[in-house]
Amino acid sequence: MSKLKYQMLIQWSEEDNCFLVSFPDFPGQRWRTHGDTYEEAVTNGIEALESLIIAYEATNEPLPEPNVNRAA
pTM score: 0.83
In a domain, residue 38? The reply is yes
8 closest CA partner among 59, 40, 65, 46:
46
**Does 21 fall in a domain?**
yes
Q: Looking at the domain assignment, is residue 13 inside a domain? A: yes
Contact 53, 40 (CB under 8 A): no
Residue 47 placed within a domain: yes
Residue 2 has pLDDT above 70, yes or no: no
pLDDT tens digits for 3-61? 678 999 999 999 999 999 999 999 887 778 999 999 999 999 999 999 999 999 999 99
pLDDT per position as a tens digit, 46-61: 999 999 999 999 999 9
Domain assignment present for residue 35? The answer is: yes
Residue 27 domain-assigned (yes or no): yes
Domain that holds residue 44: 9-58
In angstroms, how far is the first alpha carbon of the chain from the final one? 25
How many domains would you assign to the chain? 1
